[in-house]
Amino acid sequence: MTIAPPDPASVSGSAGRDLSAPAPAPAGWPHIARELADDLATDAVEREQAAKPPHDEVARLRESGLLTLLVPAAHSGGGADWRTAYAVVRTVSAADGAIGRLLGNHYFLSSTARFFGGPQRAARIERASAAGQWCWGGGIASQEPPLMLTPTAHGYLLDGHQRYDTGVGVADRLVVRAAVPGTGEPVAVLVDPAHPGVLGAGAGDTFGQRLAAGGGVGFDGVPVAADDVLGSLSADDGALSPFAGLSAPAARLVSAHFCLGVAEGLLGEVREHGRVVRAPWQPFSAQPWPGGPAQDPYALTAYGELAVAARAASALADQAVDALIQGLDRGEALDDEECAEIAVLASAAEAAASRAAQEITSRALEAIGAAAALTRHGLDRFWRDTRTHTLREPVAHRMREIGDYFLNGAHPPFTLPA
């Protein structure tokens, strides 16, 4: 694992590809993501401070081909797997956490039909998504109150309001959580935000992830075709197949790689400062350390501790991704016990990445000292992006589930992260 993000070398022109050309081979996606990250890094501070809706950034994602990365090649997509998608999210998050979060949310939501809707429905939606290069937004976490579906002669009408969804300000399609009348069963619903009944997404009032195009969104009599009700999100025992249950660890590993990417991005920034700038704990009256700031023993210890935190969380995330890929490969042959093991491992990876990111984005700034507070450096965005995310997903819940599985063999409940 490389602690530092790509060096922010100047990139001229677009980071895109010819959309009429064949999709890149798997080895090509990391290169495309790195090019895009370099492009985003050149003006990340200015864009974050301006906090404009990320229409230009989504255009860069679309032009790069990364929006269709997870769509099977048979459906005109990139044909990559989740391992590649996580690596891309991590690379982009190191340069721009909000856009990395936006992209990770897109990858998960664009896969909901495959998890919940079955192969035929997924194939239809994936072909349309690839053809239109849709950017997906919304949210189906249990923390959100469900919207209401009212049956009609031709499908359903969708009504209600969700408080905060990622990407709703720029999305071509939304996936939201709604309740079936009578039973109250939660289901995932696909919505076209261009419908006039989708009430303009309000700007998210958060101090971090300001370019994730998040905010509240309302629905007033929005028509939903029966085929756009993707499937159940019920946490009741037996309601979901073990394969559908893998949606939760898939989403948690998006969260983990976002956290790791942001942490590694800040480590790369402060490493450059640490090589040339006197450490804040060394008085100016003292003699400089022999060999310069890079030989300050206190700084070396601090960077060593942060590097260990990042590497440990990264190793656990890699282990969880391996398990998830194996589970996805088993498909409908997966059983409940295997799904539970994967879910617990993904929860552990998310918890470790969350704790590492919080520690790194706080302590790394201390290694720079007062200069880290200067607005022109924009280093606070790493901490703000991380803390905004981790406040929505408290580590305590994951720890309780992991402990219950370890001690009692209890399968974790089906919950999707915010």
Q: Is 17 helix (H, G, I), strand (E, B) or coil?
A: coil
Q: How far apart are CA 408 and CA 415, in angstroms?
A: 19
**Angle of CA points 157, 159, 164, to nearest 5°:** 135
Q: Give the model's confidence band at 281: pLDDT under 50 very low, under 70 low, under 90 confident, else very high.
A: low
Kindly state the average pLDDT of the residues 145-166: 92
Q: Give the model's confidence band at 109: pLDDT under 50 very low, under 70 low, under 90 confident, else very high.
A: very high
Place of tokens 């960077």: 303
* Cβ atoms of residues 231 and 188 within 8 Å: yes
Give the model's pLDDT for residue 65. Answer: 96
Give the model's pLDDT for residue 134. Answer: 98
* Gyration radius (Cα) of the chain, Å: 22
pTM of the model: 0.90
pLDDT at 208 over 70: yes
Closest C-alpha among 42, 40, 78, 33 to residue 57: 40
CATH code matching the domain that covers 28-135, chosen among 3.40.50.2300, 3.10.129.10, 3.40.190.10, 1.10.540.10 = 1.10.540.10
Give the model's pLDDT for residue 191. Answer: 97
Q: Give the model's confidence band at 376: pLDDT under 50 very low, under 70 low, under 90 confident, else very high.
A: confident
Give the model's pLDDT for residue 3. Answer: 35
pLDDT at 82 over 50: yes
pLDDT at 272 over 50: yes
Angle between helices 82-95 and 247-276 (to 10 degrees): 40
Q: Where are the domains of the chain?
A: 28-135, 137-232, 242-408
Give the model's pLDDT for residue 294. Answer: 60
Kindly state the average pLDDT of the residues 323-351: 97
Amino acid at 55: H
Give the model's pLDDT for residue 368. Answer: 80
**pLDDT averaged over every residue in the chain:** 89
Q: How far apart are CA 138 and CA 220, in angstroms?
A: 16
Give the model's pLDDT for residue 285. Answer: 47
Report how far Cα 366 is from the mean position of its chain's Cα atoms.
Answer: 27
Amino acid at 352: A
* Cβ atoms of residues 35 and 295 within 8 Å: no
Distances (CA, A) of 19 to 62, 66, 78, 179, 376: 9, 11, 11, 38, 37
> Of 149-163, 179-193, 337-351, 388-402, which one has max mean pLDDT?
337-351
* Cβ atoms of residues 211 and 51 within 8 Å: yes
Kindly state the average pLDDT of the residues 80-109: 98
Kindly state the average pLDDT of the residues 277-305: 66
Architecture of domain 242-408: Up-down Bundle (1.20)
Give the model's pLDDT for residue 366. Answer: 83
Sort residue 14 into left (φ over 0), alpha (ψ -120 to 50) or beta. beta
Q: How far apart are CA 364 and CA 357, in angstroms?
A: 10
Q: How far apart are CA 386 and CA 310, in angstroms?
A: 14
Closest C-alpha among 237, 55, 26, 33 to residue 135: 55
Same CATH fold assignment for domains 137-232 and 242-408: no
Kindly state the average pLDDT of the residues 377-397: 93
124 by Cβ neighbours in 10 Å (0-12 / 13-18 / 19+) ranks as middle
DSSP secondary-structure letter at 156?
E
The token duo for 342 is 């994967």
The class (CATH top level) of 137-232 is mainly beta
Q: Give the model's confidence band at 277: pLDDT under 50 very low, under 70 low, under 90 confident, else very high.
A: low
Give the model's pLDDT for residue 205. Answer: 78
Give the model's pLDDT for residue 15. Answer: 39
